[in-house]
Amino acid sequence: MISDILTALTDIFTSPTMYSSAVRLGGFLAFAALGELVAEKAGTINISVEGSLLAGAFAGAVSYDVTGSTWIGLFFGMLGGLLVGIVQANMSHRLSADQFVVGITANVLVVGLVGYFNGVLDPMTRRASVLEVPFLSEIPVLGPALFAQTWPTYLLYPLIPLTWWVLYKSRWGLEVRAVGENPQAADVSGIDVNKRRREAIYYGAILAGLGGAFLVLGQVGSFDTGMVGGRGFIAIAAVYFGGWTLIGTLFGGLLFGLADAFRLALPVLGYRLNAHSMAALPYALTLLVMYFITKEFRQPAALSRPFVRGLR
């Protein structure tokens, strides 16, 4: 019995298609998680990332259906995500309504709006073509996984150093981190705390919108109202998993992508497991990882605390 399980596991983990689909599934999470990292560094647990993903996916699908261009689809996906971010940011960091109340409601609103318009517009989409990067895609195992994907996947790669630079090397990033660690001190030194927090949410929402559009145009190839299905929250978990570091966050996204890929690889390789436990696996794994890892890292000191001048 145990040897059976072991051979099964080696089968699965040596299958190259598994890593390829892990990058595809994890890539989607990585877009959202990178953006969420920036928002959390500024002190917001931005749970409307779920809504941004869905809005991005729908906007991407509709604009692709209208124009037939994946580029335009991705662009409008970003705008769709940003729109949710604007609602979230201005209601929670300008009007100082509670960030979770706003986030929950924004998510429900997006589900409603997308469902309503999906019935009317019913966008048809196709998946973008696969682009094999010469030479790089020939590296064993890693090559095909990283460099033989649909071309929108490659948008993720420049975003990684860009986000690193923005967060750790630019003045804006320094201020964002200051605002998330000690808003009172940042305020005294002349930084508009809530403005930086809003901007960080915009950054996150744009990336999430792009992630949503990528999900439709670069990964699945069709739109479905339930396609995001709580994975915005898994992206948030990826940030926790990464201990609020860039590399860790990416690694978290990839790990959860791997879990998804594992689930999809099983039946292909002829292993049958209960469908319900398989469907629950990514969420259960996320919870388990959160349980063991959350306390191991120090989170931004002002995470999820609203800032009002004169109050501590």
Partner 1 sequence: MTEKDLVDMDIADVGIPRRRYTSGIENMLLYVLSIGGVLIISALLVAVTGNSWQKVFMALLNGAFLAPGRWGDTLTIATPMLLVALGMVVGVRAGLFNIGQEGQLLMGAMAMAFVGTKLEGPGVILLVGGLILGALSGGAYAGLAAMMRYKRGVPEVISTLLLVFIAFQIVGYAITTDWLLRDLDPNRPNKAVTSASLPEGVHLPVIRVFGNEFHIGFVISVVLAILVAYVLSRTIWGFKLRVLGHNVKVAQMIGVGAERVGSLALIVSGSFAGFAGAVMLAGGSSNFRLTTGFSTNIGWQGLLVALVARTNPVAAIPMAVLFAALRTGAGFLASTGVDRKIVDVVQALLVLALLIPPAIQLIRERRSARAAASEGAS
Give the residue with the Cβ less far from partner 1, 170 or 294.
Answer: 294
Among the listed residues 12, 86, 97, 133, the single contact to partner 1 using CB under 8 A: 97
Q: CB of 227 within 8 A of CB of 132? A: no
Q: Least distance in Å: CB of 285 to partner 1?
A: 10
Among the listed residues 8, 72, 86, 104, the single contact to partner 1 using CB under 8 A: 104
Region near partner 1 per CB under 8 A, out of 69-77, 138-146, 203-211, 302-310: 302-310
Give the residue with the Cβ less far from partner 1, 26 or 144.
Answer: 26
Instruction: Decide: is 266 part of the binding site for partner 1 (CB under 8 A).
Output: no
Instruction: Decide: is 267 part of the binding site for partner 1 (CB under 8 A).
Output: no
Spell out, one character per residue from 178 to 217, where the chain touches partner 1: x when CB under 8 A holds, - when not. ----------------------------------------
User: What would the 3-class secondary structure string for the chain be?
Assistant: CHHHHHHHHHHHHCCHHHHHHHHHHHHHHHHHHHHHHHHHHCCCCCCCHHHHHHHHHHHHHHHHHHHCCHHHHHHHHHHHHHHHHHHHHHHHHCCCCCHHHHHHHHHHHHHHHHHHHHHHHCCCCCCCCEEECCCHHHCCCHHHHHHEEEHHHHHHHHHHHHHHHHHHCCHHHHHHHHHHHCHHHHHHCCCCHHHHHHHHHHHHHHHHHHHHHHHHHHHHCCCCCCCCCCHHHHHHHHHHHCCCCHHHHHHHHHHHHHHHHHHHHHHHCCCCCCHHHHHHHHHHHHHHHHHHHHHHCCCCCCCCCCCCCCCC
Among the listed residues 8, 72, 111, 191, the single contact to partner 1 using CB under 8 A: 111
Among the listed residues 155, 160, 174, 290, the single contact to partner 1 using CB under 8 A: 290
Cα-based distances in Å from 307 to 100, 228, 240, 271: 14, 31, 22, 52
Region near partner 1 per CB under 8 A, out of 13-21, 55-63, 87-95, 242-250: 87-95
Looking only at residues 115 through 144 of this chain, which bind partner 1 when binding is defined by CB under 8 A?
115-116, 119-120
Q: Least distance in Å: CB of 138 to partner 1?
A: 39
Output DSSP code: residue 95. Answer: S
Instruction: Decide: is 226 part of the binding site for partner 1 (CB under 8 A).
Output: no
Region near partner 1 per CB under 8 A, out of 27-35, 65-73, 244-252, 268-276: 268-276
Looking only at residues 24 through 63 of this chain, which bind partner 1 when binding is defined by CB under 8 A?
45, 47
Among the listed residues 12, 113, 133, 166, the single contact to partner 1 using CB under 8 A: 113
Give the residue with the Cβ less far from partner 1, 174 or 290.
Answer: 290
Alpha-carbon distance 169 to 277, whole Å? 44
Q: CB of 150 within 8 A of CB of 131? A: yes
Instruction: Decide: is 233 part of the binding site for partner 1 (CB under 8 A).
Output: yes
The candidate with the shortest Cα–Cα distance to 199, out of 181, 178, 174, 172, is 172
The torsion of the CA quartet 113, 119, 123, 125, rounded to 10 degrees, works out to 100
Give the residue with the Cβ less far from partner 1, 72 or 290.
Answer: 290
Among the listed residues 14, 96, 129, 189, the single contact to partner 1 using CB under 8 A: 96
Instruction: Decide: is 280 part of the binding site for partner 1 (CB under 8 A).
Output: yes
Give the residue with the Cβ less far from partner 1, 20 or 92.
Answer: 92
Footprint on this chain of partner 1 (rule: CB under 8 A): 45, 47, 87, 91, 95-98, 100-102, 104-106, 108-109, 111-113, 115-116, 119-120, 229-230, 233-234, 236-237, 240, 274-277, 279-280, 283-284, 286-287, 290-292, 294-295, 304, 308, 310-312
